[in-house]
């Protein structure tokens, strides 16, 4: 569907958090130090859009923390408490943009859009991509509704869920390896080809409401590899992790020893999610011998097609919620949208096969986009 704005003026809040889009040369390298007004001044502004800038913080996004993500979540909800605001744009570093955008999407219940964007090239460079990305993000934020949190980059509109940084330096920085993009932005219009599937949004966690500085639940990521053993998983648990994302090989595989360590961690109340280091495709219960069959039997929750960074955010959101410990796995499955079925060619066992998605998938909110 094509979105073309009517003539009514739009009011957009731009929340600046730093990143390459706000970075300038510091003598030995680039670092975020420019204000949101500085960033906005580099970009043309779509006609009929009034922009109000909020300088929330100013960091390279490799320094992102749970405290800052909760501050951002609270700032977005406070901005949307004003019925005169038509949408939000968040400028953010690309390193962890996928994590912050997904975290906000898990808690986003407002029909108005929150649009993340950033840049691959620093502020003020002759071939900078930031100005164009800001322009497109403003256009999208002023035009669409009922799409949740979005990532707009290099003229492409992505859903927050599943979108990851796919290029270290190239302008087309983001993609969902397992799903097509939502659409495109350009030439004063927004063309959306599909609506994202989203689980029912969570209420704001109390930590965001209170604005406290923690401590917050520790959630670690442990990657399996050749010669992998339970050492790092056990170390994470010993360090106080309440959640661990295990990044398996292939469709989500490890070793019998790691499966035993997962069972021990789960017995101690640690929530374990199972993702994969493979670029695209779902995790699936295919192999024993320490594979996903054994890891799920040990208590791990499959992450579908979500990769480690976003699986970690779903796990963090679960732990920050007020759900009872006995229901955490159920909530986590809902946030992950349920384990994804294996490829049809592998689902030879019929409806009772372990490849057929025997865990119930989450209820999905499918909302119809309406012209804004």
Catalytic residue among 17, 20, 117, 276: 20
Q: Quote the tokens at residue 108.
A: 């986003």
H-type helices in 282-360, by residue range?
A: 292-297, 308-320, 328-335
Burial of 320 (0-12, 13-18, 19+ CB in 10 A): buried
Q: Which of 183, 359, 187 is nearest to 282 (CA)?
A: 359
CB 91 within 8 A of CB 101: no
The reply to whether 117 belongs to the active site is no
Q: Which of 221, 311, 295 is nearest to 254 (CA)?
A: 295
Q: Which of 248, 246, 235, 254 is nearest to 271 (CA)?
A: 246
CA 292 to chain centre: 24
CB 67 within 8 A of CB 214: yes
Query: How do strand 243-248 and strand 219-223 relate by DSSP bridges?
Result: parallel
Q: Which residue has the tokens 């994470």?
A: 236
Q: How far is CA 40 from CA 15, 74, 134, 276, in A?
A: 11, 22, 7, 38
CA 30 to chain centre: 25
Q: Tell me the catalytic residues.
A: 20
């Amino acid at each position: 569907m094509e979105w073309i704005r009517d003539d009514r003026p739009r009011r957009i809040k731009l929340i600046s958090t730093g990143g390459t889009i706000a970075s300038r040369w510091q003598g030995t390298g680039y670092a975020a130090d420019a204000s949101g007004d500085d960033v906005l001044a580099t970009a043309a502004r779509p006609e009929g859009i009034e922009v109000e800038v909020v300088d929330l913080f100013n960091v390279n996004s490799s320094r992102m923390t749970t405290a800052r993500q909760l501050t951002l979540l609270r700032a977005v909800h406070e901005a949307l408490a004003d019925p005169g605001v038509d949408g939000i744009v968040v400028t953010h570093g690309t390193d962890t943009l996928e994590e912050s955008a997904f975290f906000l999407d898990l808690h986003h219940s407002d029909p108005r859009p929150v649009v993340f964007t950033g840049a691959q090239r620093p502020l003020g460079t002759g071939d900078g991509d930031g100005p164009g990305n800001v322009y497109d993000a403003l256009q999208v934020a002023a035009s669409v509704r009922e799409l949740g949190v979005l990532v707009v980059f290099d003229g492409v509109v992505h859903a927050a869920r599943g979108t990851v940084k796919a290029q270290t330096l190239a302008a087309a920085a983001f993609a969902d390896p397992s799903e097509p993009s939502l659409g495109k932005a350009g030439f004063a219009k927004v063309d959306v080809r599909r609506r994202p599937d989203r689980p029912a949004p969570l209420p704001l966690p109390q930590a965001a409401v209170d604005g406290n500085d923690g401590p917050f639940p520790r959630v670690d990521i442990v990657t399996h590899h050749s010669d992998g053993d339970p050492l790092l998983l056990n170390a994470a648990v010993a360090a106080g992790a309440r959640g661990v994302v295990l990044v398996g090989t292939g469709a989500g595989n490890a070793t019998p020893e790691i499966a035993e360590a997962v069972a021990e961690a789960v017995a101690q109340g640690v929530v374990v999610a199972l993702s994969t280091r493979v670029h695209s495709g779902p995790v699936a219960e295919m192999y024993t011998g320490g594979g996903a069959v054994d890891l799920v039997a040990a208590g791990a929750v499959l992450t579908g097609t979500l990769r480690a960074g976003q699986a970690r955010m779903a796990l963090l959101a679960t732990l920050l919620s007020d759900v009872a410990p006995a229901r955490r796995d159920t909530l986590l499955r809902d946030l992950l949208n349920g384990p994804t079925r294996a490829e049809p060619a592998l689902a030879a066992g019929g409806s009772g096969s372990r490849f057929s998605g025997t865990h119930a998938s989450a209820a999905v909110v499918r909302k119809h986009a309406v012209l804004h």
